Amino acid sequence: MRWQVGVLRGGAENVDWTAAGDEPDWARARWRALDELHVLIAAEDCCQEYRLLVDGAHAIVFPGINDDGSLDVSGVDSALDFDRHRWQLRDLGHQLC
C-alpha cells in the first residue's frame, strides 16, 4: 500500500512530496505516513499546509500554534482514521455534500 507525505509551502504552487513508501496494509502505511509527517512538521517548524496520501486517501493537515508560539501537533494523528473503511465512508460523505 503506497503512502506519501508532503508540504505546500507558502508561495508554492505544487506540493513538495518529501517522503514516500510502500507497506503491506492500511495500518502500517498510515502509521509510517503519520510518523514521517511528524518528522516533516518538526523539520519545517512552521504552520503551513501538509499533505498525506495513503492508498488514494487524501488528507490535509494544518498544525495549530500554542500560546507559547510552538506548533501544536496534537491533532495530526486524527488526519487519517485507524479504520480504512470508516475513512472511505467519511470521504464519500464529504463528496456527497
| Contact between residue 72 and residue 61 where contact means Cβ atoms under 8 Å apart | no
Query: What are the extents of the domains in the chain?
Result: 2-96
**Is residue 63 left, alpha or beta, with left meaning phi > 0 and alpha meaning psi from -120 to 50?**
beta
**pTM, entire model:** 0.79
49 vs 78, higher pLDDT: 49
Cell numbers at 10, concatenated? 507558502
Q: Give the whole-number percent of the chain exceeding pLDDT 70.
A: 84
